[in-house]
Amino acid sequence: MKKIGATILLSLSLLTSNSQNFNWIKFNWVGDSISHRYFGKTAIDIPIQIENLPYKFTAQFDLGASNSMIYGNAIAPYLATDKNLQNKIDTSLKTWIDSKQYPTFKGLSLKLGNVAFSKINLGYYKSYGDSLTADSVKSNTIKEIGSIGSDFFRDKVLIIDYPNQRICVTDAIPNGFEKNFHFIDLKYTDGAILIRVQIGDNKENLLFDTGSSLFALITNEKSANEISGENTAISDSLKIQAWGKLSYIYGKKVNEDVRMGNAIMPPTLVYYEKKAWDYFFISHHIWGITGNTYFLNNIIILDFKNQKFGVSNPVK
């Protein structure tokens, strides 16, 4: 097995030499304080322009969300004065968000960074998001207006270059890329991105979620103890907001190899919550969730067309 970080490092020369062929979209890390500790990378925001609205907006890059959306409270003052945007709302076309149906903004023109997208549908998540005051609307501050979910990249190839804080959306994996990546199976079902990894001696499904930035691995207590050891001391604890509830979660050192193809992932902690999350993992047929933290030194490829997930050797 190739230990990630112990052998060949991926060169960026392939990317830079062919940069004219890549429409890169820059992203920004968002920080937050959790349990009286500051974390600099709790979420990813992408600059977004909606139609021709001359305002500075961002959207959270959240592949754990099955549908992309505009937040109703945040868009309300702009919607009230823009007839074109009002006419984009299709009440007969429904978007599922948090187990409820909402109207849809149909056929929008968007820009993520400087890259244009046309005929895009976004859910209209009414009564959600921060409400804006009149002064805030007039100010130059950047407003978070919605989320970009996994549906945005359906039938596409998504490249996430974590070290350089950018993403790229293409129709196929660029020539020459595959030799630099370790590929595993990806299953895209009902908006969820499942990747097939080996944890210890077992093949397991992980939900890949860019909205999960704090934890390399999160699972239930039983599974966490199986790969860390029941008697392994707790190394970390946090009080977090998850699925609308405050929960205490605990982190322990992983004592089993986690493999993605021929690559062994770097040492990490596995986090768990006692009992309350069991139903989520069981009902979704997953061992747990992985997110941005595991890949901060890597480029990854999500090939939705061919159901493949690729992780590079570390970029330095």
Q: Residue 230 and residue 47: Cα distance in Å, rounded?
A: 44
What is the DSSP pairing of strand 2-3 with strand 157-161?
A: unpaired
What are the backbone angles phi and psi of residue 147, rounded to the nearest 5°? -135, 145
- pLDDT, greater one: 279 or 143: 143
Q: Is the pLDDT of residue 245 over 80?
A: no
- Name the region of 45 (left: φ>0; alpha: ψ -120 to 50; beta: rest): beta
pLDDT computed for residue 301 by the predictor: 97
pLDDT computed for residue 12 by the predictor: 46
> Which structure tokens are listed for 308?
């493949």
What is the sign, positive or negative, of the torsion defined by CA atoms of 61, 67, 73, 76? positive
What is the DSSP pairing of strand 269-273 with strand 288-290?
A: unpaired
pLDDT in tens, 178-203: 888 999 999 999 999 999 999 999 99
pLDDT in tens, 50-88: 999 999 999 999 999 999 999 999 999 999 999 999 999
- Name the region of 229 (left: φ>0; alpha: ψ -120 to 50; beta: rest): left
Q: Residue 316 and residue 314: Cα distance in Å, rounded?
A: 6
What are the backbone angles phi and psi of residue 82, rounded to the nearest 5°? -125, 100
